């Protein structure tokens, strides 16, 4: 993910991916980083490994070893590395304020002023008068990302990138470092630093959700390990406000149910949660228990690129929706340029979630650039289906599969499957 997402904005690669959905939308699976409370944070990073070395038995399911690596303020870090004059100043990478630009990433100095990614550049400058704003160089970021992914693949073929600056690795069967996921993560971070001059943080755990928790725990340039034996206590103390998908609005609704921690949430059954949060209720039930069985999927083909925002206060009318759509479009264009998918666009989508959580999506087939006018027309059609206050707006493009290109030394089979 670029380095940090706001609590009300989601940047999604695929509608089916739980790692990319709205931070505040209660019915969407999510991708915000999560941190745990101090009460749950015994220093697991010193443990021998995330999973027992004993061979699996029929009585005990085989434990996975998942590493999540997240680069620290990636875009900004690249700019500071390449221009030493930027190293000790508050810095943001993004579009110009006068052109409704959006911050893609801010360094840690800028974050002390409240500047963060997906924030309007104009607001960022108001928050930090000395902010240095530089345009993104996505070609450079992509090149660095490629070097980092090459490091990952020295340890496992099961690498699932989430964006240019983060990825999941399944190292369950990796023989590196005598099979120790903890030592692999340490070595990967060291190789990244030596190869690129950049720092990364890592989380090691039995599943994706908890590995993502760990990568955020000791940022920047840190590492945290959650062993299987620590999962129950760790998630029990985890504040619900740090669960993926729980932003301000959903957090307030949970507070109304007297739920402050995952331990509190565990007292509520699936039926109760679904009655309050729809499909998202089941996901809340699972995450509150540290359950996440999603596999690491290499070479996942991006089917959709989208952004969405949930508002603290519902938008009362169509004019307000148009205003917010224009702001969201700027965020989307930043994401679109980073993804380099212009030749794969096959359709356009707008989603609205009304005040009562009813959701409608308008989809239009088509090629070409994602112009604001196209989304504005879809917005009006979606509004006509409800004509009532709106709590979430999403917009995006559908993508065709990329053409299959053989790797070096590889040829396509004339007879798939052999003789």
> What values do phi and psi take at 200, rounded to 5?
-135, 155
pLDDT band of residue 403 (cuts 50, 70, 90) is low
| CA 321/CA 327 separation, integer angstroms | 10
Report the candidate in 100, 33, 29, 21 with the shortest Cα–Cα distance to residue 308.
21
Residue among 166, 191, 371, 401 flagged as catalytic:
166
| CA 69/CA 46 separation, integer angstroms | 18
Average pLDDT over residues 212-229: 94
pLDDT band of residue 60 (cuts 50, 70, 90) is low
The whole-number pLDDT of residue 335 equals 83
* Cβ–Cβ < 8 Å for 136, 30: no
List pLDDT tens digits, range 172-185. 999 999 999 999 99
Mean pLDDT is lowest, of 29-38, 72-81, 246-255, 391-400, for 29-38
List pLDDT tens digits, range 183-203. 999 999 999 999 999 999 999
166 a catalytic residue: yes
The whole-number pLDDT of residue 414 equals 35
**Is the pLDDT at 214 greater than 50, yes or no?**
yes
**Is the pLDDT at 51 greater than 70, yes or no?**
no
Mean pLDDT is lowest, of 49-58, 123-132, 148-157, for 49-58
311/295: higher pLDDT:
295
| CA 392/CA 373 separation, integer angstroms | 19
Average pLDDT over residues 53-73: 73
> What values do phi and psi take at 261, rounded to 5?
-130, 170
**Is the pLDDT at 35 greater than 80, yes or no?**
no
Location of each CATH 3.40.1170.60 domain in the chain: 74-134
Location of each CATH 3.30.1490.100 domain in the chain: 304-399
For 304-399, CATH number out of 3.30.1490.100, 3.40.50.920, 1.10.600.10, 3.30.70.890 equals 3.30.1490.100
Output the six-digit token pair for 326: 């224009």
The whole-number pLDDT of residue 100 equals 72
The pairing of strands 91-94 and 359-365 is unpaired
93/410: higher pLDDT:
93
**CA-CA-CA-CA torsion sign (231, 180, 170, 67):** positive
Average pLDDT over residues 373-394: 94
For 74-134, CATH number out of 3.40.50.1100, 3.90.1640.10, 2.60.120.260, 3.40.1170.60 equals 3.40.1170.60
The whole-number pLDDT of residue 220 equals 96
């Amino acid at each position: 993910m670029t380095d940090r997402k706001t609590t009300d904005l989601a940047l999604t690669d695929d509608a089916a991916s739980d790692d990319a959905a709205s931070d505040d939308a209660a019915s969407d699976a999510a991708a915000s980083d999560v941190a745990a409370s101090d009460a749950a944070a015994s220093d697991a990073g010193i443990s021998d490994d995330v999973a027992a070395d004993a061979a699996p038995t029929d009585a005990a399911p085989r434990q996975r070893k998942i590493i999540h690596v997240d680069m620290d303020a990636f875009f900004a870090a690249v700019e500071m590395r390449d221009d030493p004059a930027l190293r000790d100043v508050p810095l943001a990478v993004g579009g110009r304020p006068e052109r409704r630009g959006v911050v893609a990433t801010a360094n840690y100095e800028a974050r002390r002023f409240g500047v963060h990614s997906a924030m309007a550049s104009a607001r960022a400058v108001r928050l930090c008068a000395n902010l240095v704003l530089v345009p993104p160089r996505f070609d450079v970021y992509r090149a660095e990302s490629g070097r980092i992914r090459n490091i990952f693949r020295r340890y496992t073929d099961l690498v699932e990138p989430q964006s240019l600056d983060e990825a999941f690795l399944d190292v369950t069967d990796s023989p590196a470092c005598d099979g120790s996921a903890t030592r692999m993560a340490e070595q990967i971070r060291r190789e990244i630093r030596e190869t690129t001059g950049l720092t990364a943080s890592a989380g090691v755990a039995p599943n994706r959700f908890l590995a993502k928790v760990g990568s955020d725990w000791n940022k920047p340039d840190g590492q945290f390990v959650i062993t299987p034996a620590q999962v129950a206590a760790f998630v029990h103390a985890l504040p619900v406000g740090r669960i993926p998908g729980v932003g301000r609005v959903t957090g307030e609704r949970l507070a109304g149910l007297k739920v402050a921690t995952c331990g509190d949430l565990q007292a509520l059954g699936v039926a109760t949660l679904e009655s309050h949060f729809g499909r998202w209720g089941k996901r809340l039930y699972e995450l509150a228990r540290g359950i996440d069985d999603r596999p690491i999927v290499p070479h996942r083909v991006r089917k959709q690129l989208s952004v969405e925002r949930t508002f603290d206060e519902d938008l009362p009318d169509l004019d307000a929706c148009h205003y917010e759509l224009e702001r969201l479009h700027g965020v989307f264009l930043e994401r679109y340029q980073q993804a380099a998918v212009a030749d794969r666009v096959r359709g356009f989508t707008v989603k609205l979630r009304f005040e009562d959580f009813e959701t409608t999506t308008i989809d239009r087939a088509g090629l070409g650039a994602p112009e604001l006018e196209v989304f504005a027309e879809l917005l009006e059609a979606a509004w006509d289906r409800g004509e009532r206050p709106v709590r979430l707006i999403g917009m995006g493009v559908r993508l065709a599969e990329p053409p299959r290109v053989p790797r070096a030394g590889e040829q396509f089979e004339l007879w798939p499957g052999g003789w």
